[in-house]
Structure formats: structure tokens, C-alpha cells
Structure 1
Amino acid sequence: MPLVDTVLQIAPFTVRLRSPFAAVQRHLDNFYVDVPRGSISRDFVDFDVQVLPARGLRRVWHPQARFLLDGEEPFFPLPAEQAAPLFEWGMNWCVAQRPLGELVMHAAVVAQGDAAVMMPGFPGAGKSTLCAALVHLAGWRLLSDELAILDPATGTLLPHPRPISLKNASIAVVQAFQGARLGPVYRDTRKGDITHAACPGASQRQANVPASVRWVVFPRFEAGAAPHCEALSRAEAFVLISEQSFNNERMGEVGFDALCALLTGAECFEMVYGSTTDALALVRQITGGKVVSAAP
């Protein structure tokens, strides 16, 4: 019998998770205790996920963890001690790769009320650290630190609040934020040292409240850089966001029109910064004072 067999209402999806790993159970206890549960017998699930031990000798010799979606294994196993982050990485893959009728982009999203800041960025740009700073130091609502999910029918972004993934130097930065609650650090993963910061309860309670993109910000952290912000045209932003879209081609004309509509009412910027304090000040400048800057 699996140690974990539960249905999680991780907005906007319903996920069944099964796993015998105690680390996966601890991960749920740390980060998903307030996430609504569904019924295994009654609820339709979007993703039927399992995190299982490797088969054969790998169960005892260099134990590994496998991620399965609907019984299929989409990528190679990882060391068993990484079973919990494997669940998070696997969930990102599920949302990014499955054609669910929404346009999915690689971006962090935070909001105040129904006005959202969308922060696309390539890996290493610093968007997750900035996302954590806005959430913990400035009171923004977390929609996602990793995946912007656009509903073409309404033109709004759907919240997908999950733990914020942090790696390497970002861990110590966010650990210093007042109110941040971090989990264990996993060493020597394919992304280096990684951990997770809990989604604030207030954001979780508003998991069914969508938001409209008011600002699109392309952040880039550069150690020692002087803070700099530059406006971008919507055409430039469209090209850059398209590069960060996981399913734009599959969505076709619907996705193209939805992204055009998203940008119609948005102001777009590129910003470079060398510290959290500088980043918060730049976002405050962009959003007209909605962010209260605070040093970590």
C-alpha cells in the first residue's frame, strides 16, 4: 500500500498523488496541508501522478525515484532522496506539456487585487527570488513562481499556488525574509542545491481568484549591477513571451489571440538589478507605488 494516496485540489487542477516515500508525505505535510483534498472515488483528476521506487536492484542499490503520469514514465529516475522535489518538477512538466485548453508560459506571477505582475524569464534570471521577495516583503499575492496559466476565454491568469522553488544562492537570500518558511535543502541535484518556500496562507485561500495582467516585467539579476529599467514595446514583449511559452504552437490561433489580448492592456518593461532591495524599488517604480520596498 502507498504511504500517500490522496487527491489534491491544486488550483486550477485536480491531482491524484500516490507514493510510498516518507519524504513525499513530509513534503505534503510541510507545503500542502491547507490545500483542499478531493475524493479518490468521486473526483475526475487532471493528473494521475505516482512517485515510485525504481524497479529491480535499483530498489536497494543506489535507490531511485520514478515519476509516472497516468502510468507512463516521461523522464529518467532521480536519486531516491530527491523524491519530493521530483514531485514538484514532475508537476511543472504536467502543467507545461499537457494540452489543457490554457496557454502556459514560463513566468512568475504575483498580484494585488485583480492586477497582476507577470515576470517571464529564462532560468537563472532571478524571477523566483524576486517573486518570493514580493510575496514575503511586500504583501503581493502568489499566483505562481514558475507557470503563468492564461485562460483564453476570460483573458485572465489562473492562480496555481505551490511552493516557491529556490536554488543555490537564492536559498540564503529568501531564508532571511521575515515570514518565509523553507523546507529541507536537497544537495547536488541537477539544478544544484534546491529547497522550497511555502506558499503564504493568504495566497492559498485566494487560489480561485484570477487576475488580469497589468504589468509584464522581464527581470534579470546581475551581481553588482546598477538598477536599470527600460520600457519595452508590446511587440518586443510578445516575441520574448512566445519564447517562454510551452504550448503556444499547440494552441494555434487561440493562443496567439489570447497572448495579444493579454498584452493589450499591459505595460511592459525589462529591468536589471543587483540586489533584492533594488529589485523591489524598481517594481515599486513600475507599478506606481503599489509595492512597499523593504530590505531583507
Structure 2
Amino acid sequence: MKISEFTPAAWSRALRGGDGVVVRIGPFVVRMQTAVSDLARLLHEMWGHYPLCPEEPLRDCHLRVDWNGWYRPWFRPSSIFRVDGRAPFGPFPARHHLPMLEWGLNFCIAQRSHHLLLLHSAVLERNGNALLLPAWPGHGKSTLCAALAHSGWRLFSDEFGLVDAERGQLLPFPRLIPLKNTSIEVIRDFAPKAHLGPTFLGTRKGNVAHVRPPEESVTRMSEPARARWLVFPRWVADAPLQLEPMVKPEAFLMVATNAFNYEVVGQQAFELVGRMVNGSDCYRLVYSDLAEAIAALDALAGGARV
């Protein structure tokens, strides 16, 4: 059963209930509860494609969003995120409940998933081959990822490249794609069929709106892929398109330094990144126009010269 099969009222009641709901997101099973009605409504809309798995005995984390204090719904309302009963950070303004939940889930994955190598990278797939887009904040990774996800590529993740340490495969983790500031309107114009949620003004990362993952990406989130292309993107205003090969030692260093838990995984991480880089074509991408960048990556995936 998918979340969207609930009526909004029934979904809100389930989230308020004593056990909450158990949701599968990629390889993770999450128990979720909230009494914040606006958040419940948004989760029904934005998480609607995710399946429920109440029979799953093992849950990776228990997430809960509550009002911060009994009087808060009326006086300077704020909400607080808890994982397994503890609040890892302070309260947020109540109007920022969805960004807080998404950032909190990122925190849980980064802190608890050391059986996987966690790369700071967008990941998309085509024909069983994975495109990784490792990038520093502000380089246009999320914007390019959202555009590709609505241009024939299957979304794995905007934030985490999850590498199965045993098989060396990338695992899908299709989540909401957070867009910041001017990127919001860029994607509205580029992909008018993309489902964007409301814009949250003045968050800790500026204005934020989320793109719902395409339904196919969620439906196929049990299908892994192997790395085929490592492309390090950077958006530069008015720059001509550049897609240039990178030497593999430089690509190795950039992938390793963009990993969340490289030091924790240790020798195995070194070997995983080495195999991934050796088995991939590595490029540096500079772009200013999304359509040009996507055409270049499509040509790369199709084996054409660019």
C-alpha cells in the first residue's frame, strides 16, 4: 500500500496514532509520527509514492515531529524533530517543518549508515548505468539533478550516493530534491510537469522548495546500478558549456573528499572508491544552460562524442 492510497484525513490519523506509520525509502525503513497537521498534509502530497511496510520487524529509525511546548501552536509556534526519542538539534519555526524533517532524515542516514559508503553526490541512472554528480554546495548539483530526473534519467538521490560495500553497487534512495532560492523558478520553467511543493521562506538555507521524486524512481527503488560516469558539475553564470575528461587520480581525490564517512569505513572505502573511479569515465562539467548540460550528458550516456 502506498501513502497516496490513504485519504488525507486517514493519513493524518495514522501519523498521530500510537505506533505511527512505517515507510520504506530506498534501503531504509522509517517509522514516522507527527501531530502537526500541516506537515501531515504535505507528507501525504510529497511522500505519496512511498510504500508502507508495517510488517517489517526492523526499523532504521523512529522519526517524530512535535510542537515545541503545549502553547506553541498559538504563540510563536515552533516544532522540534526527534529521532528515537531524542532531539539532535534545537527547534525550528513551525512553518519550516518539512525542511526540518528532510534535514533530520539526512542527519540520521549520515550518522547511522556506516555499513554503506556515503558519497556526497547526486546519482541518476540510465540503462543500468549510474551517473554520479559529486559537487560542493552552490555548484548547481541539485538543480541539474532535478532537471535530469525530469529528462529521462531515473533518480537515485540528490544528496547521497549509497555504495553497497559488499557488491560495490549504488543503491537508490529517491527523496525530495531541495531547491534553494533562484533554482526554484529555474526548475519551474525548465520542467513544468515537475511536482514542486510550497516554498519555505527564510530557512537556515534561504528559501527552499522541494521537488517530489518521479513515481517511477520510487517504484523501482529496489533496482541498484553500477557507476559508469563520474561528472563533477559547476554552474557558472553565462559560461559556455565545457565537458572535459579528468585524470583519474584527481577524480579519486574529489570523490573521497566528498564522502561523509570515508574515514569511518577506512580501507574498504579506499578500495571501493578506487574500483568506482577505475570503472568510470570521469569528467569536469561547467555549464550555465540546463538544456545544453543535459544534451551533453545524454550524448555521453549514448556513447556519442561531445
Alignment TM-score, normalising by the size of structure 1:
0.92
SS at match of 1:129: helix
Superposed CA RMSD = 1.7
Unaligned runs of 5+ in 2: 1-12
SS at match of 2:43: helix
Residue 59 (structure 1) shift: 5.5
After TM superposition, the structure 1 stretch with the greater mean CA deviation from structure 2, 276-285 or 221-230, is: 276-285
User: Does structure 2 retain, via aligned residues, the 8 Å contact 1:23–1:84?
Assistant: no
1:58-95 deviation digits (Å, cap 9, x = unpaired): 56432211111111211122101111111111111111
User: Does structure 2 retain, via aligned residues, the 8 Å contact 1:3–1:22?
Assistant: no
Number of the residue aligned with 1:255 = 269
Residue 165 (structure 1) shift: 1.1
Residue 127 (structure 1) shift: 1.0
SS at match of 1:89: helix
Number of the residue aligned with 2:57 = 43
SS at match of 2:184: helix
Q: Give 1:1-296 correspondences, 5 Å limit.
A: 3=16, 5-39=20-54, 43-55=57-69, 58=72, 60-136=74-150, 138-176=151-189, 177-288=191-302
User: Does structure 1 retain, via aligned residues, the 8 Å contact 2:132–2:227?
Assistant: yes
Determine the C-alpha separation between the residues in 2 that align with 1:132 and 1:218. Answer: 16
After TM superposition, the structure 1 stretch with the greater mean CA deviation from structure 2, 73-82 or 215-224, is: 73-82
Work out the number of aligned pairs and report it: 288
Q: What percentage of aligned pairs have identical amino acids?
A: 37
User: Does structure 2 retain, via aligned residues, the 8 Å contact 1:108–1:145?
Assistant: yes
Determine the C-alpha separation between the residues in 2 that align with 1:199 and 1:289. Answer: 27
Q: After the TM superposition, which parts of structure 1 deviate over 2 Å for at least 4 consecutive aligned residues? A: 1-4, 55-61, 284-290
SS at match of 1:148: strand
Cα 1:257–1:289 change in 2 (3 A) is closer
Determine the C-alpha separation between the residues in 2 that align with 1:262 and 1:93. Answer: 25
User: Does structure 1 retain, via aligned residues, the 8 Å contact 2:126–2:301?
Assistant: no
Residue 55 (structure 1) shift: 2.9
AA matched with 1:80 = A
AA matched with 2:162 = I
Number of the residue aligned with 1:293 = none
SS at match of 1:209: coil
SS at match of 2:266: helix
User: Does structure 2 retain, via aligned residues, the 8 Å contact 1:213–1:262?
Assistant: yes
1:162-209 deviation digits (Å, cap 9, x = unpaired): 111111111111112142111111111111111111111111111000
SS at match of 1:29: helix
AA matched with 2:201 = R
Residue 13 (structure 1) shift: 0.2
Residue 234 (structure 1) shift: 1.8
User: Does structure 2 retain, via aligned residues, the 8 Å contact 1:165–1:194?
Assistant: yes
SS at match of 2:232: strand
Determine the C-alpha separation between the residues in 2 that align with 1:206 and 1:42. Answer: 19
Cα 1:100–1:46 change in 2 (3 A) is farther
Unaligned runs of 5+ in 1: 291-296
Number of the residue aligned with 2:3 = none
User: Does structure 1 retain, via aligned residues, the 8 Å contact 2:114–2:261?
Assistant: no
User: Does structure 2 retain, via aligned residues, the 8 Å contact 1:99–1:250?
Assistant: no
Determine the C-alpha separation between the residues in 2 that align with 1:113 and 1:82. Answer: 37
User: Does structure 1 retain, via aligned residues, the 8 Å contact 2:114–2:265?
Assistant: no
